[in-house]
Amino acid sequence: MEQLDQTLAAIAAADTPDAVEALRVAALGKQGWVSALLKTLGAMTPDQRQAEGPRIHAAREAVTAALAARKADLESAALDARLAAERVDLTLPAPETPRGSVHPVSQVMDELAEIFADLGFAVASGPEIEDDWHNFTALNMPETHPARAMHDTFYFPDRDAAGRAMLLRTHTSPVQIRTMLSQGAPLRIIAPGRVYRSDSDATHTPMFHQIEGLVIDKGIHLGHLKWTLETFLKAFFEREDIVLRLRPSYFPFTEPSVEVDVGFTLVGGKRVVGGDGDALGGGWMEVLGSGMVNRHVIAASGLDPDEWQGFAFGTGVDRLAMLKYGMDDLRAFFDGDARWLAHYGFAALDVPTLSGGVGVRS
C-alpha cells in the first residue's frame, strides 16, 4: 500500500484546510483511490475479500483519522494565531469608576440609631428653626434665667404667630418637648440633628450635630441613666474597658444633673477612649450632659410629673466621630473638601449592623 504511505505523508504535510480537503477528496471522494479500492471488494472472491477487506478498511480509517487530526491541528494553529493577534495590553488602565463616600457624621448617626434601636429607642426629629418657648422656656429656662447666657443663641428678627421669638435651636432638647407633647408617655427616643451656637474657634463651629436621648416611664432613675450611657458607649466604641466618671452638674432641664466624663489613655499623643482616667497616662474628657428630666419640663410637656419620670442626655455627634475615627479638626467636617471626604468618609456598603459590628475598622 504505497499509496497509503504517500497519502498519509501528504496529509501530514498539508498546511491549509484547503489542502487537507483536496487530499480527502483524492482519497475518500467518489473518485478517490480508497473509494476505488472499496469498490473492488464486491468483485472479489470470499477468500480474497477475507484477505483484502481488512486491509482496505484499515487504509480508509487511517486516512480518515489522519485527516481529522490534521484538520484539528490546523484549526488550533489558526485559533492560536488569531488570539495572538487579538492580544491587548492589560497593563493599560481599565475605565475608572468614581468611588463615593458617606460623611462620618451620617455614618455615626446610623451607628447610634442601630445601637439605640437595640435598646428600644426610636428616632425622633424636630425643626432647627425653633421658637424660644420650645428651645428655652419649656426647658425650664425662663427669660432671665442665667443659663440662657450660657448659650450664645442665633436669633431671627422674626416672631411666630404666637409672638414667640424665632431662633436656631441651641440643642436637640426641644425635640424632647415636641415628642412628649405629640406622643405622650412612656417614651424612648433619640433625636439626632444639627444645632447652632454663636461660637467659633479651633474646637467650636457655629453649627454642629447633637444627639439627644430621652426615656420617660414609671420608676426610671439615675441608675438606669448610668447603665444606659455605659452600655451605649461600650457598644459605640466596641470596647469593654470604658470607664465613666459621673459628675454632678447643672442644666435647667434636668434635676439632678450629671455630666459624664469618659476615661482615655494617651497613645502616641492621641486620646484613645478606654481605661481609667485616673490611671497613669490617662485622663478624663467630657462626653455627655445628662440628668433626670426636671419636673417643670415634664409638666410643660403635658405629662404629670408625679406619675412619669425619666432621664435625658445629649452629646456631640461630631465629637463622637472624632474620638472614634481620629479626625482632629472639626472645621473640616463642613468644608466639603473631596480629599477629606475620600479619606474619612465611609463606603456605601459600610452599613452599621449589630451582627456585622456597628463600627468600621481602618
Partner 1 sequence: MKFALSWLKQHLETQADAATIARALTALGLEIEGVSDASAALGAFRVARVLTAERHPQADKLQVLSVDIGDGTPLQVVCGAPNARAGLIGVLGLPGAVVPANGMELRKSAIRGVESNGMMCSTRELGLGDEHDGIIELPADAPLGISFAHYLGSDPVFDVAITPNRPDCMGVYGIARDLAAAGIGTLRPIAVDHVPGSYPCPIDVRTDDPEGCPAFYGRVIRGVRNGPSPQWLADALKSAGQRPISALVDITNYVMLAYGRPAHAYDLAKLRGAVVARKAVAGETVHTLNGREYTLDATMTVIADDVMVHDVAGIMGGEHSGCSDATTDVLLEVAYFDRQAISRTGQALALTSDARSRFERGVDPGFLDTGLDLLTALICQICGGEPSHVVRAGEPPLADKLVAYDPALAARLGGIDVPQAEQRRILDALGFGVSGEGLWRVAVPGWRCDIDAAPDIVEEVIRVHGLDAVPSTPLPRAPGVAKPTATPAQTLERRLRRLAAARGSHEAVTWSFLPWLQANHFADLDNPVWHLANPISKDLEAMRPSLLPGLLMAVQRNLDRGATSIRLFEIGRRYLRGADGASAEAPSLAVVLAGERHPRGWAQGKAAPFDAFDAKAEALALLAEAGAPVDNLMVMGEAGAQFHPGQSATLRLGPKTVLARFGMVHPATLKAFDLAGPVAVVELFLDRLPAKKTAGSFARAAYAPPPLQAVTRDFAFLLPIDRPAGDLVRAVRGADKANIVAARVFDDFRGAGVPEGQRSLAIEITLQPVDKSYDEAALKAIAERVVAAAAKLGGTLRG
User: Which residues in the 126-165 window bind partner 1 by CB under 8 A?
Assistant: 127-131, 144, 146-147, 149-150, 154-162
End-to-end C-alpha distance for the chain, whole angstroms: 79
| Nearest distance, CB of residue 129 and partner 1, angstroms | 3
- Closest approach, Cβ 168 to partner 1, in A, equals 7
Q: Kindly state the cell numbers that stand for 83.
A: 488570539
Closer residue to partner 1 in complex, CB, 23/165: 165
| 60 vs 169 by CB, closer to partner 1 | 169
- Interior/surface letters 332-361, b for 16+ CB within 10 angstroms, e for the rest: bbeeeeeebbeebbbeeebebeeeeebbbe
Residue 219 corresponds to which cell in the numbers above?
Answer: 420608676
Report CA dihedral (241, 242, 245, 250) to the nearest 10 degrees: -170
CB atoms within 10 A of CB 24: 22
Which residues are within 8 A (CB) of 221 and not within 5 positions of it... i.e. 6 or more apart? 292, 309
239 binds partner 1 (CB under 8 A): no
Applying CB under 8 A, among 11, 34, 37, 168 the residue interacting with partner 1 is 168
Task: State the minimum distance, in angstroms, from the CB of residue 270 to partner 1.
Answer: 21
Q: Does 3 bind partner 1 (CB under 8 A)?
A: no
Q: What is the nearest approach in angstroms of partner 1 to the Cβ of residue 237?
A: 17
Binding residue for partner 1, selected from 37, 63, 330, 341, defined by CB under 8 A: 341
x/- map, 70-99, partner 1, by CB under 8 A: ----------------------xx-xxxxx
Q: If binding means CB under 8 A, how many residues of this protein chain bind partner 1?
A: 94
Least separation in angstroms between residue 88's CB and partner 1 is: 10
Name the residue among 99, 8, 32 with its Cα closest to residue 350.
99
Is position 22 an interface residue for partner 1 (rule: CB under 8 A)?
no
Residues in 201-230 at the binding interface with partner 1, rule: CB under 8 A: 206-207, 215, 217, 219-228, 230
Return the sign of the alpha-carbon dihedral for residues 32, 38, 39, 40.
positive
At its nearest, how many Å lie between partner 1 and the CB of residue 265? 19
The 262-291 site mask, x for binding partner 1 (CB under 8 A), equals ------------------------------
Sole binder of partner 1 in the list 173, 210, 309, 315 (CB under 8 A): 309
Q: Which is nearer to partner 1, 165 or 180 (CB)?
A: 165
Residue with cell 504511505: 5
359 binds partner 1 (CB under 8 A): no
Closest CA to 165 of 200, 204, 130: 130
Q: How far is the CB of 272 from partner 1 (least distance, A)?
A: 22
Among 256, 282, 283, 359, binds partner 1 (CB under 8 A): 256
**Nearest Cα to 208, choosing from 327, 63, 68, 320?**
320
Q: Which is nearer to partner 1, 9 or 156 (CB)?
A: 156
150: left (phi over 0), alpha (psi -120 to 50) or beta: alpha
For the chain, state the CA radius of gyration.
42
Our CB check for partner 1 shows the closer of 8 and 216 to be 216
DSSP state of 93: P
CB atoms within 10 A of CB 242: 21
Residue 103 is a binding residue for partner 1 (CB under 8 A): yes
- 42 vs 146, which CB is nearer to partner 1? 146
Q: What is the DSSP string of 300-312?
A: HTT--TTT-EEEE
Q: Is the dihedral of CA 259, 130, 132, 297 positive or negative?
A: negative
Q: Which of 4, 23, 67, 105 is the binder for partner 1 (CB under 8 A)?
A: 105
Cell of 298: 415634664
Contact window for partner 1 (CB under 8 A) among 30-38, 62-70, 78-86, 292-300:
292-300
